[in-house]
Amino acid sequence: MTQLAEERGMRAGDCLAGAGLSPSAVTDANAEVTARQELAVVRNLLARFGDEPGLGVEAGSRYHISLYGPWGLALLASRTLRDAVEVALRYVELAFAFGQLSFVEVGGEGVLRFDDHEVPEDVRAFLAERVMTGIQMIGRELFSVGVPVRRLSFRHEPPADTARYRSVFGLEPCFGAVAHELVFDAAYLDVPLPQANEWARRNCEQMCRDLLARRHARSGVAGAVRDLLVRNPGEIPDQSEVAAELFVSPRTLSRRLHDEGTSFRALLDEVRQALSEEMLDHTGMTTEQVAARLGYAEAASFIRAFRRWKGCPPQEYRARGLRARVPEPV
């Protein structure tokens, strides 16, 4: 997306404004980008270029199977397209952070459906186009010639020009449909894939399982702690109060969080960072007011913490976000 922005005259830094990401971070293979950060980037891109027909298609056309890590490699090493679809859906949250992807086989057709009802409305069309195009790109890499699309539908209204869609999918999509769907001949499901490798697939699947296990660990005690910390911003409880809410001692709470690979301090830091960004982005609260709501005894401590999180003080962060949201004069 930063490449898209730069090609259209928008600096990468402006595209990343408000996301808490530096241009170097987005090219770091070991960096993690949250869904909230990605949404900020998408919104910056749409604020400047949202009128461009098929912008989501252009973004999705740049996705390659190698960018999906072990998830993509597991697909590539699958025996057939049917196996690849099963693997893809089993670990789909490693590849798609927004919406729900599903597959059905009916009447001799394979139907991939993207449900975006829980996706924020202002980014739905872009993300739906990006996902569907990304699927098309994956199909082309699984099969050297790709899988011909029989029908393609989008829930949003048609753009002024559909040339980009026709170029990528080989047909005119149906817009204003009841669902985002990509339909192909089910006969392709059992065609052997050219790079099938059972050993590689098993190993990549194991990596996918390990990645998911680490993510899901946060849904245990850590998830309960996080819920308590965000329950009432302005009255963030300390570790003893959280332990009491969970009917354990502070020491037991520390041990259980350690077993999940985190700590109370790390979770508190994480929650404070997220809440501070929300307050600075969407309220007129002063730095001192935000610091107080987050439980800091003095604003200076909050400013130091925020600089550690985002690389700049709160006022500079807010100013960057405001500049990104102000449209340029025509």
CATH number of the domain residue 250 falls in: 1.10.10.60
Percent of the chain past pLDDT 70, that is, above it, reads 94
Place of tokens 């090219």: 27
- Together in a domain, 201 and 114: yes
d(CA 270, CA 278): 13
- Number of domains making up the chain: 3
Residue 154: pLDDT over 90: yes
Band of residue 43 on the pLDDT scale cut at 50, 70, 90: very high
Structural domain contains residue 242: yes
For residue range 1-18, list pLDDT tens digits in order: 999 999 999 999 999 988
What 8-state DSSP symbol labels residue 63?
-
- Together in a domain, 260 and 186: no
Return the pLDDT at 330. 45
- Together in a domain, 141 and 268: no
Structural domain contains residue 284: yes
- Together in a domain, 27 and 98: no
192, amino acid identity: P
> Is the CB of residue 166 less than 8 Å from the CB of residue 172?
yes
What is the rounded radius of gyration, in angstroms, for the C-alpha atoms of the chain? Answer: 23
- Together in a domain, 272 and 313: yes
For residue range 214-264, list pLDDT tens digits in order: 666 556 788 888 878 877 666 788 899 888 888 788 999 999 888 877 899
Structural domain contains residue 6: yes
Long-range interactions of 306-311: CB distance < 8 A, separation 24+: 306/273, 306/276, 309/20, 309/269, 309/273, 309/276, 310/20, 310/273, 310/277, 311/20, 311/22
Percent of the chain past pLDDT 90, that is, above it, reads 39
Residue 115: pLDDT over 80: yes
In this structure, the strands spanning 109-115 and 149-153 are unpaired
Residue 325: pLDDT over 70: no
d(CA 141, CA 193): 10
Q: Which residues contact 298 (CB under 8 A, 6 or more apart)?
A: 291
For residue range 288-324, list pLDDT tens digits in order: 988 888 888 889 999 999 988 888 888 888 887 765 5
Backbone angles phi, psi at 183, to 5 degrees: -115, 135
Q: Which two tokens stand for residue 146?
A: 């790709």
Q: Which range of residues forms the domain containing residue 9? A: 1-49
pTM: 0.67
For residue range 64-111, list pLDDT tens digits in order: 887 788 888 899 899 999 999 999 988 887 888 788 899 999 999 999
What 8-state DSSP symbol labels residue 158?
P
Residue 146: pLDDT over 80: no
